[in-house]
Amino acid sequence: MRRVNVSLYSEEWPVLFAEESGQIKRILGEELVEIHHFGSTSVPSLAAKSIIDMLGVVKDIELVDRFNAELQIFGYEGKGENGIPGRRYFQKGGDERTHHLHIYQIGSPEIGRHLVFRDFLRAHPDAAEEYGELKLRLAKQFPYDIDSYINGKEGLATDIQGQAIAWQRNQEKY
């Protein structure tokens, strides 16, 4: 049974992203358009599970499957779409996960959804603090129940997502 571990922000997380994203760039080569650090480990001062979330943007999502074997050699377990059509999802580290790789084709609305959430939290430290405190409380309350942990933060995450979209629209006006 996996434990839900949420810790305070670590300066090591951006370094781990930079190291890992370099390897992903080498593997995917010309197919990769860009790669982003997203999720809680990408927001300075935000408490998070110590799993580096990476978002790869590719030219053609259907071609990603041809890289599965090479990604597996590097420790990534392919999960296919894993519930989100048009995505390729990989996990590294087994039960002691270290990285998640989400890959979308350029133009996917999922890319903007993830990045605006990250950017909003980076620009609004009070929202990041509230979200981080909730995650710490939930991890303490549900140390071996990942579903309850996820469900417990869903309401606030949805609220933040709505605020982030409104914030982005306001930013685009100027």
Which domains, and CATH codes, for the chain? Answer: 12-167 (3.30.460.10)
The answer, yes or no, to whether residue 95 has pLDDT greater than 90, is no
Provide the pLDDT confidence category of residue 2 given band limits of 50, 70 and 90.
Answer: confident
Structure tokens at 52: 């580096």
The answer, yes or no, to whether residue 33 has pLDDT greater than 90, is yes
Provide the pLDDT confidence category of residue 28 given band limits of 50, 70 and 90.
Answer: very high
List C-alpha distances in Å: 18 to 14, 34, 37, 71, 158. Answer: 6, 13, 8, 17, 28
> What is the chain's mean pLDDT, rounded?
96
Tell me the mean pLDDT in the region 98-124: 97
Provide the pLDDT confidence category of residue 162 given band limits of 50, 70 and 90.
Answer: very high
Provide the pLDDT confidence category of residue 29 given band limits of 50, 70 and 90.
Answer: very high
Structure tokens at 103: 């890959």
User: What element of type H or E holds 104?
Assistant: strand 99-105
The answer, yes or no, to whether residue 62 has pLDDT greater than 90, is yes
Q: What whole-number distance in Å separates Cα of residue 105 and Cα of residue 9?
A: 30
Structure tokens at 170: 């306001």
Tell me the mean pLDDT in the region 145-158: 97
Q: What is the pLDDT of residue 173?
A: 74
Total count of residues recorded for the chain: 174
Inter-residue contact 144 to 3 (CB < 8 Å): yes
**% of the chain at pLDDT higher than 90:** 94
The answer, yes or no, to whether residue 174 has pLDDT greater than 70, is no
Inter-residue contact 67 to 152 (CB < 8 Å): no
Provide the pLDDT confidence category of residue 92 given band limits of 50, 70 and 90.
Answer: very high
